[in-house]
Amino acid sequence: MKKLSILSILIAIVLFIGCATKKQPVDLVLKNANIYTENEKNPKAEAVAIKDGKIVFVGTDKEIEKYIGEKTKVTDLGGKTVLPSFIDSHTHPGLVAMTSGNAELAKYSIPGTSIEDTYAYLRKIAKENPNLPYLMIGTWSNPLFGVKGPDRKILDEIFPNTVVILLDSSGHSYWLNTAAFKAFGIDENTPDLKEGLSFFVKDKNGRKTGWVKEFALMPYLANMPQPAPEQLAPAIEGYLNSLAKNGVSTVMDAGNFNAEETIFKAVQMLEKEGKLPVRYEATHHLYMPSQLKDAVNKVLEYRKLYGSKLLTFNTIKIHFDGVNEINTSAVLEDFANEPGNKGGMLYNEEELKNLMLESAKHNINVHLHTVGDRSTRTALNAMEQAQKEYGKKLPVQLTLSHLETVHPDDMPRFKQLGVHANFTPHWFGGTVFHGSKEALGEHRFAHNQPVGAVLKAGANVTFSSDVVSKPQEYRANPFLGIEMGATRQDPALGKNTPIFGQKSDRVSIKNMVKGYTINNAKQLAMQNEIGSIEVGKSADFVVIPSDIFTMDVYEISKIKPTAVYFEGKKQELK
Ligand SMILES: [Zn+2]
DSSP 324-338: GGGT-S--SS-BTTB
Alpha-carbon radius of gyration of the chain: 26
Beta-sheet strand order (sheet of 54-59): 54-59, 47-51, 28-31, 73-76
**Span from the CA of 369 to the centroid of ligand 1 (angstroms):** 7
- Nearest one of 388, 395, 380 to 349, comparing CA atoms: 380
Q: What is the pLDDT of residue 284?
A: 98
Q: What is the pLDDT of residue 16?
A: 47
Walk along the chain (574 residues) and give the pLDDT tens digit of each residue. 444 455 555 555 544 444 445 678 999 999 999 999 999 999 999 999 999 999 999 999 999 999 999 999 999 999 999 999 999 999 999 999 987 765 555 678 899 999 999 999 999 999 999 898 988 887 899 889 999 999 999 999 999 999 999 999 888 999 999 999 999 999 999 999 999 999 999 999 999 999 999 999 988 887 777 889 999 999 999 999 999 999 999 999 999 999 999 999 999 999 999 999 999 999 999 999 999 999 999 999 999 999 999 999 999 999 999 999 999 999 999 999 999 999 999 999 999 999 999 999 999 999 999 999 999 999 999 999 999 999 999 999 999 999 999 999 999 999 999 999 999 999 998 777 777 899 999 999 999 999 999 999 999 999 999 999 888 899 999 999 999 999 999 999 999 999 999 999 999 999 999 999 999 999 999 999 999 999 999 999 999 999 999 999 999 999 999 999 999 999 998 7
Rounded to whole angstroms, the Cα distance separating 171 from 369 reads 14
**Span from the CA of 431 to the centroid of ligand 1 (angstroms):** 17
Chain length of the chain: 574
CA distances from 199 to 209, 345, 428, 436 (A): 11, 12, 29, 19
**Span from the CA of 401 to the centroid of ligand 1 (angstroms):** 8
Q: What is the pLDDT of residue 102?
A: 59
Quick check: 554 and 238 in contact, CB under 8 A? no
**Span from the CA of 433 to the centroid of ligand 1 (angstroms):** 15
**Span from the CA of 23 to the centroid of ligand 1 (angstroms):** 46
Decide: helix, strand or coil at residue 73.
strand
**Span from the CA of 318 to the centroid of ligand 1 (angstroms):** 10
**Span from the CA of 319 to the centroid of ligand 1 (angstroms):** 9
**Span from the CA of 16 to the centroid of ligand 1 (angstroms):** 54
Q: What is the pLDDT of residue 438?
A: 92
**Span from the CA of 186 to the centroid of ligand 1 (angstroms):** 28
**Span from the CA of 128 to the centroid of ligand 1 (angstroms):** 35
**Span from the CA of 224 to the centroid of ligand 1 (angstroms):** 22
**Span from the CA of 536 to the centroid of ligand 1 (angstroms):** 32
**Span from the CA of 156 to the centroid of ligand 1 (angstroms):** 32
Quick check: 573 and 277 in contact, CB under 8 A? yes
Beta-sheet strand order (sheet of 311-319): 86-91, 248-253, 279-286, 311-319, 365-370, 398-402, 420-423, 460-463
**Span from the CA of 121 to the centroid of ligand 1 (angstroms):** 30
Q: pTM value?
A: 0.93
**Span from the CA of 72 to the centroid of ligand 1 (angstroms):** 42
**Span from the CA of 90 to the centroid of ligand 1 (angstroms):** 6
**Span from the CA of 424 to the centroid of ligand 1 (angstroms):** 10
Q: What is the pLDDT of residue 14?
A: 46
**Span from the CA of 250 to the centroid of ligand 1 (angstroms):** 16
Quick check: 88 and 252 in contact, CB under 8 A? yes
Q: In this structure, how many other beta carbons lie within 10 angstroms of the beta carbon of residue 163? A: 19
**Span from the CA of 46 to the centroid of ligand 1 (angstroms):** 37
**Span from the CA of 218 to the centroid of ligand 1 (angstroms):** 16
Identify the bridge partners of residue 58 per DSSP, sorted by sequence position.
48
Maximum separation of any 2 CA atoms in the chain, in Å: 106
Rounded to whole angstroms, the Cα distance separating 319 from 199 reads 14
**Span from the CA of 179 to the centroid of ligand 1 (angstroms):** 30
In sequence order, what DSSP letters do the residues of 420-441 get, joined into one string? EEEE-GGGTTSSS-GGGHHHHH
- Note residues around ion ligand 1 (Cβ under 5 angstroms): 254, 466
